[in-house]
Amino acid sequence: MPDTATPPAPAYQVLARKYRPETFADLVGQDAMVRTLKNAFAADRIAQAFIMTGIRGTGKTTTARIIAKGMNCVGPDGTGGPTTEPCGVCEHCRAIMEGRHVDVLEMDAASRTGVNDIREIIDSVHYRAASARYKIYIIDEVHMLSTSAFNALLKTLEEPPPHVKFIFATTEIRKVPVTVLSRCQRFDLRRIEPEVMIALLRKIAAAESAQITDDALALITRAAEGSARDATSLLDQAISHGAGETTAPQVRAMLGLADRGRVLDLFDMILRGAAAEALAELQSQYAEGADPLAVLRDLAEITHWVSVVKITPEAVDDPTIGPDERARGGDMAGRIPMRALTRLWQMLLKALEEVSAAPNAMMAAEMAIIRLTHVADLPDPEALIRKVQAAQAAGDFTRSASPAAAPAGVTANAAHAPRALRSGMVTARGAVAVAALAGDPAPDALAGYPDFQSVVELIRRMRDMRLLLEVETHVRLVRYSPGRIEFQPTPDAPRDLAPRLADRLRGWTGGARWAVSVVDQGGGPTIAEKRAEREAAEIATARQNPVVQAILSVVPGAPISVRHEIPPAPPEPAEGETPAEDLHGPSDGPVSAVEEWDPFEDEE
């Protein structure tokens, strides 16, 4: 009776293996390497050893097998030689493709790392190939070999027999000793570009009669990060997940990603400082299955993308990004300052670490969002420095004043002012600075400098002692008006005094323009000369005092200096006590705080 049993259906093969490249023409995104290998085969300049490096899934082991097939291919008629276009039908091509060729040995260095495993290869290289043209050793993840194994392989790798070829593959090229690299031809397999990857996935989907939207392919391409194997595996999973036409929301749910549009909404809420709205949006996405860590990762990705678009506007044409996202990203890049983006990037990196280590990821993500929204509206450091300098230039910060004396409207924004302002350490003269820091409009920056002496006092308050000494010693003032200084320098004045003075004043007065010019004549005496002249006159007057003359008669040549003392304020009267002014009448003038001293009093 004839056997009518149905033959078993072939086992399912995943797409990453089913559509694995069989020839160099099937490799995508590696044109430079393919061109080099084709030229080497055509010129019969096949190296003794190759090393393939690149990220996972770019075709390192696949390329090694294609090279092995090309070296050993004999063509359909059995008379062919080494070629970059293996026929795929001869015995050697089929055996290598199925992984059963006796002369093409594949070894996983991750599981066989010792020197004994390499010693087996060294002992076998002396025997010719059993049936093929070359004996080929393919060592995958070669960086996992031990130091002793690498050292044992060096001599054989440098001078192998003519019938032996080595092909290495690794993802960590820096871990391979340079002594091994110098004996191999190195090929760096690049990440596959998004356009090429989308075209490859679309071709595979058509071959599988699968319906999948372009937005879904873009999501898969972005998640694969340039790895063809990862992209093909994700496509295989997406086709099964879709059960019909696979759409972007289905792929996003499969990958655990948040809706890109909603992440952009969250990003905009953070930049506006809307903490309550941002928290509500995060909780809504979390309720719909989004991973908090994935949301923060998407925020960091958007921050990076918007920053790149701000620097290079053509980056907005990324094929993995939809038209709506491109429009919103271009708008954000135009209105968000780079300082805010870089600050957001740094804080998101820190938040990713915190969420990864936190026992409750959602709580950590919420705290990160709150922190981001509160930092979003802070002024940039340059503007803050200008405000502080303006505040310091407008008043004395070292004398305390009652907080009740602050002008109206200052306390409303006290949280944004420096600590010295919040503690009340500011006088009435510093009211304009407080107003500037609190966000109120400041008066004219030059109104507080009606004469040159006010400029000198500003330099003294800013504690620039070098500039103060140079102004007092070398500036002979010719003409002054607020914002304009014209002076004649002394012969020994620094050459850069005028531009340095203008630059300092501009910084201290909030960017107000100061014109400082130098002339050859017409200048009056310097401040130091006036001070010296005044002190000389005071000393001459003091010498006419009988007391001073008496002292000089006893101590000839004693130095004389003049000091002006401010009389102390009268003490506050006790409760119920009559003030001294009411008892003795108003004072006709200042009361001297220095008592006269008679040098001859002790002798009497």
How long, in residues, is the chain?
Answer: 604
Neighbouring-strand partners of residue 475: 489
Q: Where in the chain is the domain with CATH 3.40.50.300?
A: 15-188
| pLDDT > 50? residue 291 | yes
CA atoms lying within 13 Å on the CB side of residue 386: 14
Q: Where in the chain is the domain with CATH 1.20.272.10?
A: 256-375
* Assigned token pair, 164: 């032996």
Q: Characterize the bridge pairing of strands 245-246 and 211-212.
A: parallel
Position 566 scores a pLDDT of: 64
How far apart, in whole angstroms, are the C-alpha atoms of residue 197 and residue 29? 8
Helical H segments across 446-604, by residue range: 452-461, 465-474, 497-508, 527-543, 546-554, 580-584
Mean pLDDT of the chain: 79
Position 353 scores a pLDDT of: 92
Position 5 scores a pLDDT of: 53
**Confidence bin at 434 (pLDDT 50/70/90):** very low
The CATH number of 194-254 is 1.10.8.60
> Cα angle vertex 483, ends 477, 485, to 5°?
15
| pLDDT > 90? residue 335 | no
Q: Characterize the bridge pairing of strands 211-212 and 104-108.
A: unpaired
How far apart, in whole angstroms, are the C-alpha atoms of residue 72 and residue 95? 11
Lowest model confidence (mean pLDDT) among 16-20, 75-79, 513-517, 592-596 = 592-596
Query: From its phi and psi, is residue 483 left (phi > 0), alpha (psi between -120 and 50) or beta?
Result: left
- Side chain identity at residue 588, one-letter code: D
Position 419 scores a pLDDT of: 39
Burial readout 98-115 (b: 16 or more C-beta within 10 A, e: otherwise): eeebebbebbebeebbeb
pLDDT in tens, 88-144: 888 888 888 888 888 898 888 888 888 888 888 888 888 888 888 889 999 999 999
Position 444 scores a pLDDT of: 62
Position 390 scores a pLDDT of: 65
| pLDDT > 80? residue 577 | no
How far apart, in whole angstroms, are the C-alpha atoms of residue 66 and residue 396? 79
The CATH number of 15-188 is 3.40.50.300
- Mean pLDDT calculated for residue range 78-84: 82
- Mean pLDDT calculated for residue range 289-302: 88
| pLDDT > 50? residue 361 | yes
The CATH T-level fold of domain 256-375 is Zinc Finger, Delta Prime; domain 3 (1.20.272)
Q: Which range has highest mean pLDDT (157-166, 248-257, 416-425)? A: 157-166
Beta carbons within 8 Å of 187's beta carbon, 6+ residues apart: 33, 36, 37, 50, 51, 52, 53, 63
Position 597 scores a pLDDT of: 43
Helical H segments across 358-445, by residue range: 361-375, 381-394, 419-422, 431-438
- Mean pLDDT calculated for residue range 455-470: 89
Angle between helices 248-255 and 228-242 (to 10 degrees): 110
* Assigned token pair, 167: 């092909």
Q: pTM for this one?
A: 0.56
CA atoms lying within 13 Å on the CB side of residue 321: 19
- Within 10 Å of residue 342's Cβ, how many Cβ atoms? 12
Lowest model confidence (mean pLDDT) among 135-144, 360-369, 410-419, 498-507 = 410-419
Torsion of CA 578, 580, 581, 583, to 10 degrees: 70
Position 340 scores a pLDDT of: 86
Contact call for residues 80 and 73 (beta carbons, < 8 A):
yes
- Within 10 Å of residue 216's Cβ, how many Cβ atoms? 27
